[in-house]
Amino acid sequence: MIASVIVDVPAKQTDRSFDYKIPESLNDVIKPGMRVVVPFGPRKIQGFVVSIKPQSDFKKLKEIIEPMDLYPVLTDELLELGDWLTDKTLAYKISAFQVMLPAALKAKYEKKLRIMPSVTPESLAAPLQAIFKNNDTYSWDEASNQGLLSILQKEANRGKIEVVYEVKERIKKKTIKYLLPKVTKEELINLMNEMPANASKQKEVLNFFIDHPKQIESRELLSVLGISSATVKSLVKKNILLEKSLEVYRDPYEDRKFDTTKPLPLSEDQEKAIRPILTTIEEKLQKVFLLYGVTGSGKTEIYLQSIQQVIEKGREAIVLVPEISLTPQMVKRFKGRFGNKVAVLHSGLSLGEKYDEWRKIQRKEVSVVVGARSAIFAPFENLGIIIIDEEHETSYKQEDNPRYHARDVAVQRSIFHRCPVVLGSATPSLESFARAKKGVYELLTLPKRMNNHALPSVQIIDMREELREGNRSMFSRSLLEGIKARLEKKEQIVLFLNKRGHSSFVMCRDCGYVINCPNCDISLTYHRANQQMKCHYCGYESFVPKQCPECSSEHIRYFGTGTQKVEEELGKILPEARVIRMDVDTTSRKGSHERLLDDFQAGKADILLGTQMIAKGLDFPNITLVGVLSADTMLHLPDFRSSEKTFQLLTQVSGRAGRHELEGEVIIQTYTPEHYSIELAGEQNFDRFFDREMMMRKLHHYPPFYYITLITISHENVMKVVSVTENIAKYVGTRVSKDAIILGPVASPIPRINNRYRYQCLIKYKREPDLSRILKSLLDHYQQEMASSGLQISIDLNPYILM
């Protein structure tokens, strides 16, 4: 039989299947969806079997070397989904497969030099003798570093050395070694008595097993008896003890207990919202629901009870949660309800932990997966529901190849499995809400908070006014009063700082000169930890200069209203307030995120000060004031979604206040109070915001009225970039319909990264069935230049970041 294989070479020319003969011995072993090792040119590489057929058009077939899996890692559905994904994103097939699997399954390659078996080290050139004296292989990279390649090549030509390629697994399955007696208790006693007197340690071991005949983890035995593994080894050799390895999962939540929860009684609104979902599950229909419920309206309980129903039907559930809110709190809610039927996938896990969670899914040992974006590819075969929480979050769009949106994948998979997709949000994306209004999605609404708690009152403070009245601090008078009042009443405060847009850069106070990266047109970010400035795009690092390079002033210092600065300021004005700061610096260590939140919940602090990461999911009864220090930092980004993002963020943050008995208050500080996204966030009026923003989008030909596609071209030479971009704009322009609008060529918002100049071209269109084909031929046309002269063309159909 013949296997069609997609090889692990991400390039235009190899983006197709290659046929291999399946060796006789592997005839019923090799299945579609398996990883295999195949010869490719002179090398050995990994590949995915996509299909098996009786014959091939190709004559000189090579054989598959070996399978890498016992069972396929990709189901038929996922293989098919790979085709769909490559079609939608113009990515390589191999990248599509790779993105669907845990990184642990990606092959690692090694290139080595090996001395031929019949050759003795002494017969090699002098510098090589020592190397091959004790080893028969030597790493290629090492040889290259030592400058030994040319000698080795000569030996290779004489047939004394050969080049070997190896394909290796990235990680091993974790095993634990156990020991148990191989003989009966009586025999153990006999054996012990027969042992020579000097074998005291071995006697101890036997004695132990006489009292404890069950198997024990060998590590534990060694530490209990204080013996070395040599003692055990000899007993194993004598066939008295048996050593066995058991495969175990690396369980990131191993030592945690989750209190079990029972389904809560639903409110009338919840009841009304869940009914259509349950019916859809019951009738095995494919349908997309938009669950639009204000913050604190009980969306999670709807998710939980829908999943309950799915599990009872013997089917499986995928729950997507934005990375940032995939906190232990969130995990607790699912593990609490469904116990060990839940797998969790997020970026905080190690490679091995992710792999193990994935294997639980593959082996159907769990029926629910809670995870970030990539969990949408969980290899379930009987999906009953897909839930995407915080549906509007932009992190569901992957920003490198394949540039997929988890929402689109969810819909595609739901069609295959005939199951509902539930998109939940308090501030739905414009795209989804528009679709719900058109009837493409079914809209479910939860208009009220649980137990009828009122939404917090929101006050918008004009910081220009504050400045005019002589208040130069970062806290308005109202906010300061509010904080003081809460401190007195022993209630808690959340202060939110939106750092995006202007993170901590270094600027000269005299001339305004900002220190930029020498390779990229972007300011360097100050890192307090090592007192250095770093470029987030190319990794360039340097120390803060003592003097301004422009005007030689010494008043050069680190700028930007960072959380540390706010913390300092708070310490000056309100020294009695206890503050917990949460940002990348304080939460980088594993588990620190959770610890800080626990401390805050336990009342060990009055104020929680943080960035993005505290905008979601916090649900503490004692928070009665939320302050947003500057609402408009992200409003001025060059992005047509900036208003939408601002509105969503403000609404989310506001939702942190007054979720329980105590009433909440929100204070938003801004320099542009008249902007509709801020004004309407203040009113918590999504519907008016929606209408208003839709008008803007229509006016400027943006989604959801138009589709957009972004082409970014980069090269070391500016002239080259400009001319290629011009040609591309022209090429596309003559091929699309006249309703399409082409913007560009223009320089990208970040015009240079890592010394490569970047230009872009944006296509807006309503209906271009041929666009995909046009773009593919475009890539074909530039294929050689992209391979040889370092030209890069990236295409994003439906981009979320326009930079």
* Contact between residue 564 and residue 503 where contact means Cβ atoms under 8 Å apart: no
- Indicate whether 14 belongs to the interface with DNA (CB under 7 A): yes
Decide: is 144 part of the binding site for DNA (CB under 7 A): no
Tell me, what DSSP letter sits at residue 267?
P
How many chain residues bind DNA (CB under 7 A)? 27
- Measured CA to CA, the distance from residue 786 to residue 756 in angstroms comes to 14
Q: Name the one range near DNA by CB under 7 A: 5-13, 310-318, 407-415, 707-715.
A: 5-13
Which helix (H) or strand (E) covers residue 280, if one does?
helix 268-282
What is the chain's length?
Answer: 803
* Token representation of residue 272: 């009304």
Please, which residue, 118 or 150, has the CB nearer to DNA?
Answer: 150
Nearest residue (CB) to DNA, 113 versus 763: 113
User: Do residues 419 and 351 make contact, with C-beta atoms less than 8 angstroms apart?
Assistant: no
Within 535-574, strands assigned E span 541-543, 556-558
Using the minimum distance from each CB to DNA, give the nearer residue, 163 or 718.
163
In terms of CB distance, is 21 or 565 closer to DNA? 21
| Nearest distance from C-beta of residue 782 to DNA, angstroms | 12
Q: By the 8 A CB rule, do 651 and 683 touch?
A: no
Name which position in 28, 42, 134, 490 contacts DNA (CB under 7 A): 42
How far apart are CB 750 and DNA at their closest, in Å?
23
Is residue 147 a contact point for DNA (CB under 7 A)? no
Scanning residues 650 to 669, which ones bind DNA (CB under 7 A)? none
Bridge-based pairing of strands 579-582 and 175-181 is unpaired
Among 32, 39, 348, 733, binds DNA (CB under 7 A): 39
> Residue 101, by phi and psi: left (phi above 0), alpha (psi -120 to 50) or beta?
beta
593-599-605-609 Cα dihedral, nearest 10 degrees: 10
Single out the residue of 376, 453, 445 nearest to residue 416, CA to CA: 376
In the complex, the smallest distance separating the C-beta of residue 155 from DNA, rounded to whole angstroms, is 14
Which region among 11-19, 318-326, 592-600, 638-646 touches DNA (by CB under 7 A)?
11-19
The binder of DNA chosen from 1, 29, 52, 61 (CB under 7 A): 61
Nearer to DNA, 279 or 784 (CB): 784
Report the residue number, 11 or 801, with the smaller CB distance to DNA. 11
Give CA separation, 759 vs 444, 700, 745, in Å.
42, 21, 6
C-alpha distance from residue 518 to each of 525, 530, 555, 618 (Å) = 13, 20, 21, 40
Joined together, the tokens standing for residue 93 give: 């097939």
651 vs 616: CA distance, rounded Å: 10
The DSSP letter of residue 104 is G
Contact 446, 298 (CB under 8 A): yes
Residue 502: CB atoms within 10 A of its CB come to 16
Which is nearer to DNA, 532 or 794 (by Cβ)? 794
Q: According to the binding rule CB under 7 A, does residue 23 interact with DNA?
A: no
Binding mask 152-191 for DNA (x = CB under 7 A): -----------x-x--------------------------
**Least spacing, CB of residue 52 vs DNA, in Å:** 14
Binder among 27, 53, 58, 283 for DNA (CB under 7 A)? 58
Of the two residues 37 and 436, which places its CB atom closer to DNA in the complex? Answer: 37
Task: Report the residue number, 142 or 247, with the smaller CB distance to DNA.
Answer: 142
* Residue 137, SS3 per DSSP: strand
Nearer Cβ to DNA, position 198 or 788?
788
Residue with tokens 């938003």: 668
Please report whether residue 56 would count as binding DNA according to CB under 7 A: yes
- Rounded to a whole number of angstroms, the minimum distance from the CB of residue 192 to DNA is 58
Figure out which of the listed residues 18, 258, 338, 600 binds DNA, where binding follows CB under 7 A.
Answer: 18
Site mask for DNA (CB under 7 A), range 95-134, x = bound: ----------------x-----------------------
> First-to-last CA distance in the chain?
48
Amino acid at 660: H
Structure-token pair, residue 173:
């399955």
Minimum distance of DNA from residue 721's CB (angstroms): 18
Q: Which stretch binds DNA (CB under 7 A): 41-49, 176-184, 251-259, 361-369?
A: 41-49
CB of 289 to DNA, least distance (A): 41
Phi, psi of 796 (to 5 degrees): -120, 110
Beta bridge partners of 367: none
Q: Of 587 and 712, which CB lies nearer to DNA in the complex structure?
A: 712
> d(Cα 22, Cα 318) in Å, to the nearest integer?
36
141 binds DNA (CB under 7 A): no
> Binding marks (x or -) toward DNA, 768..787, rule CB under 7 A?
----------------x--x
Stretches 60-68, 419-427, 610-618, 655-663: which one binds DNA (CB under 7 A)?
A: 60-68
Please report how close the Cβ of residue 714 comes to DNA at its closest, in angstroms.
14
Task: Determine the angle formed by the axes of helices 229-237 and 218-225, rounding to 10 degrees.
Answer: 120
Which one of residues 41, 147, 196, 439 is an interface residue with DNA (CB under 7 A)? 41
**Stretch near DNA under the rule CB under 7 A, chosen from 36-44, 71-79, 534-542, 572-580:** 36-44
Of 34, 40, 100, 668, the one binding DNA (CB under 7 A) is 40
Minimum CB separation from DNA for residue 715, in Å?
14
Establish if 9 lies at the interface with DNA (CB under 7 A).
Answer: yes
**How many C-beta atoms lie closer than 10 Å to residue 632's C-beta?**
21
Q: Is 62 in the site for DNA (CB under 7 A)?
A: yes
Q: CA distances (Å), 702 to each of 438, 709, 762, in order?
A: 17, 11, 11
Query: Where does this chain touch DNA (CB under 7 A) — which range of 8-16, 315-323, 438-446, 755-763?
Result: 8-16
Contact 54, 1 (CB under 8 A): yes
Nearer to DNA, 20 or 647 (CB): 20
Pairing relation of β-strands 216-217 and 175-181? Answer: antiparallel
Q: How far is the CB of 786 from DNA (least distance, A)?
A: 8
42 vs 314, beta carbon nearer DNA: 42
Among 52-60, 78-86, 329-337, 560-568, the segment contacting DNA (CB under 7 A) = 52-60
150 binds DNA (CB under 7 A): yes
Q: Answer yes or no: are the C-beta atoms of 327 and 591 closer than 8 Å.
A: no
x/- track of binding to DNA for residues 511-550 (CB under 7 A):
----------------------------------------
- Based on the shown chain and the rule CB under 7 A, indicate whether residue 135 belongs to the binding site for DNA: no
Structure tokens that stand for 111 in this block: 């290139």
Question: Interaction with DNA in 395-454: which residues (CB under 7 A)?
Answer: none
CA–CA distance, 63 with 235 (Å, rounded to integer): 45
Question: CA–CA separation, 346 vs 659, rounded Å?
Answer: 27
Sign of torsion over alpha carbons 373, 84, 381, 379: negative
Helix (H), strand (E) at residue 192: helix 185-194
Residues 683-712 vs DNA: string with x where CB under 7 A?
A: ------------------------------
Distance CA 135, CA 132 (A): 5
Establish if 43 lies at the interface with DNA (CB under 7 A).
Answer: yes
Q: What's the token pair of residue 563?
A: 């959380």
19 binds DNA (CB under 7 A): yes
**C-beta closer to DNA: residue 164 or 176:** 164
Which residue carries 């629901």 as its tokens? 289
Q: How far is CA 353 from the centre of its chain?
A: 14
Residues that bind DNA (CB under 7 A): 9-11, 13-14, 18-21, 38-43, 56, 58, 60-62, 111, 150, 163, 165, 784, 787-788
